[in-house]
A and B are shown apart, each in its own frame.
Chain A
């Protein structure tokens, strides 16, 4: 049935349709509305689950680990610093192979403190062994949660659904929520591969020394790679049961004859597709590629999808400080041996709007062959230069964030 809903409400209802046994979380912006809505569903008996308001994010995921280890379908959600506070448990959930599903309402990481959207939080755990799926719209956020539980439980791996904080979580748009029996058909009852059961005792969480650590890690890699086969199969099933486009590993847009292909993850693809349409109408051969599954990285599918392109522009909402684009690095590894130029465009950091006009400028430069290797989209160079000059002029130049804000206020006053 169609609804006009806030993204957080839609995600909460999708999670409820998946019938979790345990929901355990600690509120943090921009995830809060999801947890509030799930709490309300439990309280009003619309969701038969144990709702546990934990005393911290570390507890929230630790409780989820315990719940999953006894065979309960466990769900949590967080963002930003909350994810960092969970970090030890994030690695444990993956290392133990527990099929927990987490919504990550993507938000920047401080310092400087910032509550707004980018992908730094998701990138900080990309090596932890969780599957990471990125939603482009709230409809996709809904559908990816059905897929996430099915995938997690089939492979016995934790899955993180990344939903752009505020941009998706706080947007009100049209969402189609299936009937409960459809989701039940998509998601069979949870049959744990391992569980703590007094009638059939096992221990979970052995200490493994050098004699077998490599092998256990290798098995984790094998298991996560299996997602590359399972996701397309589940996607096919979702497509037939939901009657709409369902998540795939990657999703091409106007790729067939595209010379320049723009690659990105999450909600920014919407703006990118509009720009692609506008530029196509003017005769430019440009297309886009959405990476829905970021971990495991679908390298073979990416390589095939990009085989015809002559130039690539990777728009990403995070970067590795000290090197550069993270997705760009993964794309270049997937294209090993090919000479296709790859340009990285760092955009939307800490909630800065990604304007269609700014993207268009970058894409036009790419088509003309004049785009530089690395672009920080809409960077205010004068603010940066002023602080660099201050640092060069005096030893005690002070805290950079405060200095930049003061300069910005001065500009505002003189305008």
Chain B
């Protein structure tokens, strides 16, 4: 599945909690896009950072220079690093009807209690990924950020797996980098497999 959007700049909003690497995820996303030859801009919401507090970060990707400096208020893609933010923060505010949502959770969508929020979005546009579980297995730490980018690459086709891997190598060294790359690949395959599954194709109207 390659996401296609009307505008030439794709806007992504990331939601997490302080300590989960939300800002780093936005940075890695921008570096991955840069490695793929795209223009990219990433920046955090500049709050007072506290561990556990809700955090937002933004990323824009495009084929031309990105000039605007406003935060992302009408995202094409939402990456939700922490499902406990559902109901705490207005996660889906401004999400475009043609947008996509990637949620870090091991639970089925129905058990997340997204209520009315999810009703606004076509079911096939919401994907889940057990990114924290994957991170714990490969990184031995509950940091889902780079893992989710593997899922993002598979979900949207906006950036390549090799771009994400290159971004990981920019940020991390040695065994940590290798573990992150392995986790990213698992996440990529997980989402890829899901998108080619019969279950998914039944849900997608043709």
A116 pairs with B68, CB closer than 8 A: no
Counting CB contacts under 8 A, is B198 at the interface? Answer: no
**Which of these, B31, B40, B70, contacts A353 with CB under 8 Å?**
B70
Contacts of A30 in B (CB 8 A): 46
Counting CB contacts under 8 A, is A78 at the interface? Answer: no
CB-contacts of B63-103 with A (<8 A): 65-71, 73
Q: Contacts A4-B31, A355-B73; is A274 near B43 (CB within 8 Å)? A: no
B31 pairs with A173, CB closer than 8 A: no
What is the bound-complex CA distance between A269 and B68, given in angstroms?
Answer: 8
Counting CB contacts under 8 A, is A297 at the interface? Answer: no
Contacts of A164 in B (CB 8 A): 69
Counting CB contacts under 8 A, is A390 at the interface? Answer: no
Contacts of B27 in A (CB 8 A): 6, 172
The number of chain B residues with a CB under 8 A from chain A is 22
B44 pairs with A170, CB closer than 8 A: yes
Q: Contacts A4-B30, A172-B27, A355-B73; is A166 near B46 (CB within 8 Å)? A: yes
Contacts of B42 in A (CB 8 A): 171-173
Q: Contacts A4-B34, A116-B46, A351-B46; is A172 near B41 (CB within 8 Å)? A: yes
Counting CB contacts under 8 A, is A354 at the interface? Answer: yes
CB distance from B56 to the nearest CB of A (A): 12
What is the bound-complex CA distance between A164 and B70, given in angstroms?
Answer: 13
CB-contacts of B145-185 with A (<8 A): none
Closest-by-CB residue of B relative to A139 is B65
B70 pairs with A171, CB closer than 8 A: no
If over half of B's interface residues share one DSSP class (helix, strand or loop), that class is named, otherwise mixed; here it is: mixed
- Of A115, A164, A268, A353, most B-chain CB atoms within 10 Å: A353
CB-contacts of B11-45 with A (<8 A): 26-27, 30-31, 34-35, 39-44
CB distance from B12 to the nearest CB of A (A): 13
Closest-by-CB residue of B relative to A136 is B67
What is the bound-complex CA distance between A354 and B42, given in angstroms?
Answer: 17
Contacts of B71 in A (CB 8 A): 353
**Which of these, A6, A115, A116, A270, contacts B67 with CB under 8 Å?**
A270
CB distance from B57 to the nearest CB of A (A): 10
A172 pairs with B43, CB closer than 8 A: yes
Contacts of A173 in B (CB 8 A): 30, 39-42, 66
CB distance from A279 to the nearest CB of B (A): 14
Closest-by-CB residue of A relative to B30 is A172
What is the bound-complex CA distance between A125 and B142, given in angstroms?
Answer: 47
CB distance from B127 to the nearest CB of A (A): 25
A171 pairs with B67, CB closer than 8 A: no
Q: Contacts A4-B31, A6-B27, A116-B46; is A174 near B39 (CB within 8 Å)? A: yes
Counting CB contacts under 8 A, is A46 at the interface? Answer: no
Closest-by-CB residue of A relative to B26 is A172
Contacts of B46 in A (CB 8 A): 30, 115-117, 166, 170, 351
Contacts of A116 in B (CB 8 A): 46
What are the nearest 4 A-B pairs in CB distance?
A270-B67, A4-B34, A171-B43, A172-B42
